[in-house]
């Protein structure tokens, strides 16, 4: 046993001397940290593997070149991976919409990311809520590709005592106005109908309607 341990230490020392790392994964981490994709490819050839957590980190850093590399060289199902962080539980596309990089969102969608993943919130909802996204470029891109709100989004939107819920509802109404016809008209009618229906129910005492919906 002692002889085997000494042999292993000697092997590591030789590898270090000739400039060969005994850990391809460590080489990959260092290369990606430096955005050295040539070295990252070399590490992959030596047996390194790409973990989905690295992709989520690149998305939150808004590092498009790194995101492209990780998606193109990662596992085929890397776009379906999930992570829980920042109050979100979902896929890379959900986090890309939350952290507001339109180029990354567009890339992920073009690579086949699920537009309506099973998550606590939807990519479309996160894009609508983005601060500074007054013209809704990212949200309109997602919507036109087929993204829609999920039930959790709608629940949040109708929570009058929730500041984000009130802001979400206002921004949703603003977003509706930017949608091209006939979708704009259809959703505008639906929104008005739903609000009137809620008011009628409220008058009958069937439900409590958020104050901001009654304005």
Q: What one-character DSSP code corresponds to residue 114?
A: -
Residue, of 138 and 194, whose pLDDT is higher = 138
| Residue 88 DSSP SS3 | strand
Whether the bond into 182 is cis, omega within 30 of 0: yes
Model confidence, pTM: 0.72
Average pLDDT over residues 176-189: 61
pLDDT digits (tens, 9 = 90+) for 61-95: 999 999 999 999 999 899 999 998 877 888 999 99
Average pLDDT over residues 174-179: 82
Q: What are the angstrom distances between the C-alpha of 149 and each of 32, 117, 121, 133, 152?
A: 34, 10, 8, 17, 8
Strands 88-90 and 83-85: antiparallel
Q: Is the pLDDT of residue 202 over 60?
A: no
Q: What one-character DSSP code corresponds to residue 78?
A: G
Q: Is the pLDDT of residue 122 over 80?
A: yes
What was the pLDDT predicted at 208? Answer: 39
Distance, CA of 138 to CA of 173 (rounded, Å): 16
Residue 38 pLDDT grade (very low, low, confident, very high; cuts 50, 70, 90): very high
* Backbone CA torsion sign across 190, 193, 198, 204: negative
CA angle 79, 53, 61 (to 5 degrees): 90
- Report the mean per-residue pLDDT for the chain: 76
Distance, CA of 128 to CA of 86 (rounded, Å): 17
Distance, CA of 212 to CA of 196 (rounded, Å): 13
pLDDT digits (tens, 9 = 90+) for 1-23: 444 443 444 443 433 433 444 58
Tokens standing for residue 6? 């000494």
């Amino acid at each position: 046993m002692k002889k085997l341990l000494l042999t292993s230490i000697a092997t590591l020392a030789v590898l270090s001397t000739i400039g060969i790392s005994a850990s391809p994964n460590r080489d990959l981490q260092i290369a990606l940290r430096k955005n050295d994709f040539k070295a990252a490819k070399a590490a992959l050839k030596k047996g390194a593997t790409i973990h989905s957590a690295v992709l989520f980190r690149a998305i939150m850093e808004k590092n498009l070149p790194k995101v492209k590399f990780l998606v193109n060289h990662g596992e085929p199902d890397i776009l379906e991976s999930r992570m829980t962080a920042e109050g979100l539980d979902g896929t890379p596309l959900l986090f890309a919409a939350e952290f507001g990089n339109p180029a990354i969102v567009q890339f992920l969608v073009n690579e086949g990311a699920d537009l309506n993943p099973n998550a606590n919130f939807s990519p479309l909802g996160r894009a609508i809520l983005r601060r500074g996204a007054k013209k809704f470029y990212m949200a309109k891109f997602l919507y036109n590709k087929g993204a829609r709100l999920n039930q959790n989004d709608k629940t949040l939107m109708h929570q009058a005592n929730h500041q984000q819920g009130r802001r979400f509802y206002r921004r949703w109404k603003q977003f509706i106005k930017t949608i091209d016809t006939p979708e704009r008209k259809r959703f505008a009618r639906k929104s008005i109908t739903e609000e009137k229906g809620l008011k009628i129910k409220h008058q009958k005492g069937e439900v409590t309607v958020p104050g901001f919906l009654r304005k």
